[in-house]
Chain A
Amino acid sequence: MEPITVYLLVLVCIIIGGILSSLAVHLMPVGGAPAAMATATGIATGCVMLMTGAAVTGLFTASTVASFWVTNPNVILVALSGAVGSMLMMGFTMFVGNLIYIFGAGIVPCSGRVAVDPITKESQTEYKTPRTDGHGVPTVSFVSGILGGFSGGFGGALIYVMLVSDSYAHFSVATAGIVAMGIFIANAIIAAYNIGGTIEGFHDPKFKARIRTGLTCSLIVSALCGVIVVIAMLTGTLVGGVM
């Protein structure tokens, strides 16, 4: 493959990976500190922690699957594996979270931002504790979280496999892993600033209002990160050995 095509492909894939990471942050239902006190809908943790946790699980699965091939791993399959790994992590976390809300605190999962759940078409307001902003993880937030996990895992694993593959950047495994983590973290934190720390999912009015800004910012940041990584590739000195 022509060198210039390789560099362009790596740059484009880093941009796509970055945009998907930012999209993931907007899709995941994050309740922040209030959700741990059942005052807000969503997963009861901070945005940065949850998203980094999901992404690195996806990265782990992607690295295992990428090592099936001796050289030149199949980019789409590895990225999908990362996506599914991250998706399962989000799914189990939200499921057990709901178990604790329902049986440990006696709460019905319901949304605080919409009156009717868009997927199940069930009413939410009469199940919500007054003077709270919803609690638990209702079905629409659950599905939104699954999609968010899929997207984030895909993005992180895509960056990883482009950096580790022999036919593209050909970094060593650990270099590719930590650089993918670095680019993912940069995008995800800027997206977290965009949503202001908490969001309920794709049904939240905040999603529609902020998604365009978020994706634009992540496009710019990922493009710059991609250019920097391509400069590192140009020097040709970080080439790793056999995976």
Chain B
Amino acid sequence: MPVISLFAWMLVIAFLAFIACMFEDLESDIGSQSNPNSQVQLAPEMGYIHRYFNKAISGEGLSYALSCTIAGTIAMLMLLKLEPMLAAKDMSLGYAAVLAIPVGAAVGSLVHMVRSSVCHVGREAAHKRFEQPIYLDVFYGHLLPIATHNFMAVICITAIAYIQCNLGILSGVTGASNPFPLPLLCLIWGLTVGAIGSSTGDIHYGTEREFQDKPFGEGRRVVYHGQICRYGDCGIRTSKDVAAFCAKYGGPATGLAFGLIVLFENWRTVIGMLLGDLAGPAWNPSIAAAGGIGIGIGIAIVLIILARTLEKWARNKYGPFVGE
């Protein structure tokens, strides 16, 4: 029975991971962040004034590490205070988590919102000589969507970290918890979620949405750089219009990447633990570790084969580059 609940918690973690990374990518599209932001930065320098929200906090990995770690720290401090009170009254510890995780995530998102607000004015004030104004409606109108999308991602990450560091208690299988403390786990997953969101979702935003008036099916040549699409469906485009587009493909694909990573990581660890006879008398850690490693190498080989097949399909279907 305990092992089944271990798998159940794994699925919950994978589901939360999917949601977290999807919202991470959408949030980095609403406030233009990280790699495609270099184009939003370049555009005024080439004379193309825009109404995007130029949010250049740092790379997405570090920015999400910040909001997730602050969320994890506040949650950890609240749990530190609340859990002894609940234990003294012999109540379930879940009451503390239900309060601590959302409050921590809210504080983390507020800090993130403050960090984004200084970025837009800072970068556009440094564009004074290129005559890029700071549109106040762009500035005020994007802060709340940034905060809310960030909150969704951060609360999922904090929940994942909480489950992982308390997995032994939650599932009843001792020794299944991760030994790292909650804020450190939040830092780790924040860095990972930012790195993945930056590597996958940014492609859809940068190649497709930013250069939507350029032909589909080719890379964006260096001569196009800076000539971003500034006009929207009706009037001038703002960053909020970007999120609606990327939510159709880039966002869910990014969520898929992180969800699959978390799913297969946890799945192969649990299978390894079962092979080593977890929760049984003959607990053999070496077989558990080796089992996990073997399954992982198998998955990597399957991935290489899949990638090769996909590339071959694309080469045959699309053919060599047509045009000049």
Q: Which residues of A contact B (CB under 8 A)?
A: 32-39, 43-46, 48-50, 52-54, 56-57, 59-61, 63-69, 73-74, 77-78, 80-81, 84-85, 87-89, 91-109, 120, 122, 126-132, 134-135, 137-139, 142-143, 146, 173-174, 177-178, 243
Of all chain A residues, the one with the shortest Cβ separation from B298 is: A84
Please tell me if the beta carbons of A44 and B199 are within 8 angstroms of each other in the complex. yes
| Residues in B whose Cβ lies below 8 Å from that of A131 | 221-223
Contact of B293 among A64, A73, A81, A139 (CB under 8 A): A81
Tell me, rounded to whole Å, the shortest Cβ–Cβ distance linking A176 to chain B. Answer: 10
Tell me, rounded to whole Å, the shortest Cβ–Cβ distance linking A75 to chain B. Answer: 11
Please tell me if the beta carbons of A63 and B178 are within 8 angstroms of each other in the complex. yes
Please tell me if the beta carbons of A43 and B199 are within 8 angstroms of each other in the complex. yes
Please tell me if the beta carbons of A45 and B202 are within 8 angstroms of each other in the complex. yes
The 10 A-B residue pairs with the shortest CB-CB distance, nearest first, are A53-B195, A106-B217, A84-B296, A36-B35, A36-B206, A68-B285, A38-B219, A49-B61, A129-B219, A96-B257
| Residues in B whose Cβ lies below 8 Å from that of A137 | 307
> Per DSSP, are chain B's interface residues mostly helix, strand or loop, or mixed?
helix
Assuming A36-B202, A49-B60, A88-B300, is B285 touching A74 (CB within 8 A)? yes
Within 8 A of A (CB), among B170-186: 175, 177-181, 184-185
Tell me, rounded to whole Å, the shortest Cβ–Cβ distance linking A93 to chain B. Answer: 5
Instruction: Report Cα–Cα, A99/B313, bound state, in Å.
Output: 12
| Residues in B whose Cβ lies below 8 Å from that of A143 | 304
For chain B, the bracket of interface size reads 35 or more
Total contacts A to B, CB within 8 angstroms?
281
| Residues in B whose Cβ lies below 8 Å from that of A80 | 289, 293
Tell me, rounded to whole Å, the shortest Cβ–Cβ distance linking A234 to chain B. Answer: 25
| Residues in A whose Cβ lies below 8 Å from that of B254 | 96
| Residues in A whose Cβ lies below 8 Å from that of B178 | 60, 63-64, 67
Assuming A45-B195, A56-B188, is B311 touching A139 (CB within 8 A)? yes
Tell me, rounded to whole Å, the shortest Cβ–Cβ distance linking A203 to chain B. Answer: 15
Please tell me if the beta carbons of B188 and A59 are within 8 angstroms of each other in the complex. yes
Q: Which residues of B contact A (CB under 8 A)?
A: 34-36, 38-39, 59-62, 175, 177-181, 184-185, 187-189, 191-192, 194-196, 198-208, 210-211, 216-223, 225, 249-250, 253-254, 256-257, 260-261, 264-265, 269, 273, 276, 285-286, 288-290, 292-293, 296-297, 299-300, 303-304, 306-308, 310-311, 314-315, 318, 320-321, 324
| Residues in A whose Cβ lies below 8 Å from that of B188 | 56-57, 59-60
Tell me, rounded to whole Å, the shortest Cβ–Cβ distance linking A210 to chain B. Answer: 22
Please tell me if the beta carbons of B318 and A74 are within 8 angstroms of each other in the complex. no
Please tell me if the beta carbons of A36 and B321 are within 8 angstroms of each other in the complex. no
Please tell me if the beta carbons of A44 and B202 are within 8 angstroms of each other in the complex. yes
Contact of A126 among B179, B187, B286, B320 (CB under 8 A): B320
Instruction: Report Cα–Cα, A53/B179, bound state, in Å.
Output: 19
Please tell me if the beta carbons of B36 and A174 are within 8 angstroms of each other in the complex. no
| Residues in B whose Cβ lies below 8 Å from that of A32 | 35
Instruction: Report Cα–Cα, A174/B290, bound state, in Å.
Output: 24
Contact of A36 among B61, B207, B320, B324 (CB under 8 A): B207
Please tell me if the beta carbons of A44 and B321 are within 8 angstroms of each other in the complex. no
| Residues in B whose Cβ lies below 8 Å from that of A73 | 285
Please tell me if the beta carbons of B300 and A146 are within 8 angstroms of each other in the complex. yes
Please tell me if the beta carbons of B289 and A65 are within 8 angstroms of each other in the complex. yes
Contact of B204 among A84, A89, A105, A146 (CB under 8 A): A105
Most buried by B among A66, A74, A78, A81: A81
Show 13 residue pairs from A and B whose CB-CB distance is below 8 angstroms, ordered by the A residue: A49-B62, A49-B194, A64-B178, A66-B179, A80-B293, A93-B257, A98-B307, A100-B250, A101-B203, A103-B249, A131-B221, A131-B222, A139-B304
Please tell me if the beta carbons of A69 and B285 are within 8 angstroms of each other in the complex. yes
Please tell me if the beta carbons of B208 and A104 are within 8 angstroms of each other in the complex. yes
Please tell me if the beta carbons of A44 and B203 are within 8 angstroms of each other in the complex. yes
Of all chain B residues, the one with the shortest Cβ separation from A82 is: B293
Tell me, rounded to whole Å, the shortest Cβ–Cβ distance linking B24 to chain A. Answer: 12
| Residues in B whose Cβ lies below 8 Å from that of A127 | 315, 318, 320-321
Assuming A97-B200, A104-B203, is B39 touching A37 (CB within 8 A)? yes
| Residues in B whose Cβ lies below 8 Å from that of A36 | 34-36, 202-203, 205-207
Please tell me if the beta carbons of A91 and B314 are within 8 angstroms of each other in the complex. no
Of all chain B residues, the one with the shortest Cβ separation from A107 is: B219
Contact of B35 among A44, A56, A99, A122 (CB under 8 A): A44
Instruction: Report Cα–Cα, A49/B222, bound state, in Å.
Output: 24
